[in-house]
Structures are given as structure tokens and as C-alpha cells.
Amino acid sequence: MKAPDLSQFDAASVREWKGAIDLLKTAAAHAKLGFAVVDLSKARDKATLFGEIDRKLALPEHFGHNWDALADVLEDRDWLGKHGRTVVLANAAAWRKEHPNEWDTFEEILGEAAEFWKERQIPFWVFVA
């Protein structure tokens, strides 16, 4: 499986990924994007999900560990950086199955953030692995 050209902001979105995470890491480095892997196998509930997201994405100190706060910080230019970001949600299948309502909310927030940055011509990619 080949990684997409992550420098292409107009294609950035939330996508399924079946390939090796290292391919995405290399593609992100080539595009000069920040890169993080959030391991959802460490999230047992919403609180531990927010904790893992906060740790792996190095969110701002004011992140309030709730859905509205996540939506806000994902649209924060200081957090995003100059060139954009690539986020991989590793081991997502079990969490998605066990928490379908929270997953829908999470995926919607990530999709809205990708659209927000796309309008500003900055790539924000999320890969569900």
C-alpha cells in the first residue's frame, strides 16, 4: 500500500489505513508535517481516550478533556504548527466497536478539523489504522 502525497491539503481527510504506519511517518516527514500515533488500545473509556490523545498530540495545556475542547484545540494554529499534521489512530477497531457513539462523535470532530484546515490550505490528515 502506498501512502498518499500528504502535502496535498485539498485531499486531506479522515481515512481508513491498512498499510504500515512507517509509510505514513515517512510521507509526513517528506511533506514536513507533524506526525503522531494515538494508540487506541490504551483507551478504555472516554477519560482514558482524552488522556491518550492529549499525551500523543501534545495538546495545549488548556485542553479540557471533553469533545468541545477537542474540537477547539484541533483548530488551534499554535498547536497545528506551520505546515500541518498527520495523525494515526492505531488499533482503532476494538475501540470503535466498543464505543460506537463516542467513535461517531470523535470521527465527526476529526473530519470537521480536516475541513477547517483544508479551507486554510493546510493539510490535516487522520488515518484510522
pLDDT tens per residue across span 66-81: 999 999 999 999 888 8
Note the pLDDT of residue 125.
Answer: 98
Q: Residue 82: pLDDT above 90?
A: no
The position carrying cell 510521507 is: 27
Q: Tell me how far apart the alpha carbons of residues 126 and 42 are, in angstroms, rounded to a whole number.
A: 18
CB < 8 Å & 24+ apart, contacts of 19-22: 21/88, 21/90, 21/129
* Predicted confidence band of residue 118 (pLDDT cuts 50, 70, 90): very high
Give the largest CA-CA distance in the chain: 38
Cβ atoms 33, 18 nearer than 8 A: no
